[in-house]
Every structure is written in C-alpha cells, then in structure tokens.
C-alpha cells in the first residue's frame, strides 16, 4: 500500500448554512458547491475547494450535517456541539485492493464499500485502529489529477 493523495477532510457541522457562510465570508473560499443530501449515508454534503499547486485541485473540505438522529455524524455533533474534524479521506487507485490490504493487517472496516459523494467507491476504517482518526479510503476518480 502506498499513501495516496489527501482528497478531503470531513468536517461535521451543526448548521450547513452557517458553515457555508463561514467558509465564504471569513475564510474567503471562492468555490463552494451547492449542498445536497445523501440519504443512504445519512448526511447533507457540501464541498469547499482549496487551491492546489500549479493549478491542480487542492484538498477539499467536506462539510457534513446530519439528516436525522441516526446519521453517523449525529453522535459526533452531540459530543461536539460546535462541530469539528470528523474524518480524513485518502485516495487509492483500486478500492478492492485497498480494502483487502486494511483487512489483511487486521484493521476494522466499517460497513460495506459504497459509492461516495465523488461518485467513486469508498469505505471507512475504524478510528480506534487509525491513530484516533476515522479514515475514509476512496477510489481515485478516473479523470482526476
Ligand atoms: C458524504 C459521503 C461520504 C464521502 O463520500 O465522503 C462521507 O464522508 S459520509 C461520512 C459519514 N459516514 C461515516 O462516518 C461512516 C463511518 N462511521 C461510522 O461507522 C461511525 O460513525 C463510527 C466511526 C463507528 C462511530 O460510531 P458511533 O456510534 O457514532 O460512535 P461511538 O460513540 O460508538 O464511537 C466509538 C468510539 O470511537 C470514537 N469516535 C467516534 N467517531 C469518531 C470520529 N469521527 N473520529 C474519531 N473518533 C471517533 C468515539 O469517541 C468512541 O470512543 P470512546 O469514547 O473512547 O469509546
Ligand atoms: Co468523506
């Protein structure tokens, strides 16, 4: 396994509109996507783009708010009412190979591989097996980078 590009940092936010206003008005973000719901993941999602080097796309900030009390970010926000960093996401060229690698070294995978917000397959590795950081692995988009 070779560490891939950091695609995004997932930030849990209690209020999506407030978070978007913060990134636009306080942080000066120029590209903020329209938020959309992913009911199968239990979250509302919005991407804040950061600039990369030499015109490449930088790491994104993925804003996540819970759609209901069963959402995987609902418990996190209950413990952290202001929100905060929820997960980190690294790209891998082949999702099945990456999953087999983590399983093979005894890391706990959280649920099935599914399609993520970028349209490619993703899976999550338990934070207790990953230095305290909930880790998302996503297959590198074909057209990217
Ligand atoms: C937008 C779609 C997609 C994308 O394409 O990018 C996404 O990113 S979706 C993001 C949301 N989806 C997920 O997070 C799915 C995976 N998550 C889970 O399965 C669960 O949330 C969890 C990580 C297993 C946590 O379960 P939960 O029941 O909410 O919490 P517990 O209280 O049982 O937690 C156990 C233990 O782990 C600590 N913890 C929980 N969440 C985190 C976190 N985000 N980062 C670090 N540590 C975390 C928690 O504090 C507990 O520790 P102890 O108190 O020491 O037991
Ligand atoms: Co994510």
Tens digits of residue pLDDT in 71-123: 999 999 999 999 999 999 999 999 999 999 999 999 999 999 999 999 999 99
For ligand 1, say whether the CB of 123 is within 6 Å of any of its atoms. Answer: no
Pocket test for ligand 1, best of 38, 134, 138 (most atoms within 8 A of CB): 134
What confidence tens digit (pLDDT) does each residue in 32-45 have?
999 999 999 999 99
Residues 6+ apart with CB under 8 A from 2: none
For ligand 1, say whether the CB of 11 is within 6 Å of any of its atoms. Answer: no
Q: Say if pTM beats, i.e. exceeds, 0.80.
A: yes
Å from CA of 117 to ligand 1 middle: 17
Class of domain 6-139: alpha beta
In the structure encoding, which two tokens stand for residue 38, read together? Answer: 């992913």
Residue 107 to residues 61, 65, 82, 100, 126, Cα–Cα distance (Å)? 25, 27, 30, 10, 7
Tell me whether 0.90 is exceeded by the ipTM.
Answer: yes
Domain locations along the chain: 6-139
First-to-last alpha carbon distance for the chain, in angstroms, is 19
For ligand 1, say whether the CB of 47 is within 6 Å of any of its atoms. Answer: no
């Amino acid at each position: 396994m070779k560490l891939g590009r950091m695609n995004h940092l997932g930030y849990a936010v209690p209020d999506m509109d407030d978070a978007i206003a913060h990134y636009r008005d306080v942080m000066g973000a120029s590209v903020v996507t329209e938020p959309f719901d992913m009911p199968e993941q239990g979250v509302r999602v919005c991407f804040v783009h950061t600039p990369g080097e030499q015109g490449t796309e930088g790491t994104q900030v993925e804003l996540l708010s819970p759609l209901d009390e069963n959402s995987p970010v609902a418990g996190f926000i209950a413990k952290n009412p202001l929100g905060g960093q929820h997960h980190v996401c690294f790209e891998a060229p082949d999702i099945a190979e990456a999953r087999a690698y983590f399983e093979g070294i005894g890391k706990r995978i959280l649920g099935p591989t599914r399609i993520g917000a970028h349209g490619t397959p993703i899976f999550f590795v338990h934070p207790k097996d990953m230095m305290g950081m909930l880790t998302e692995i996503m297959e590198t988009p074909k057209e990217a980078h």
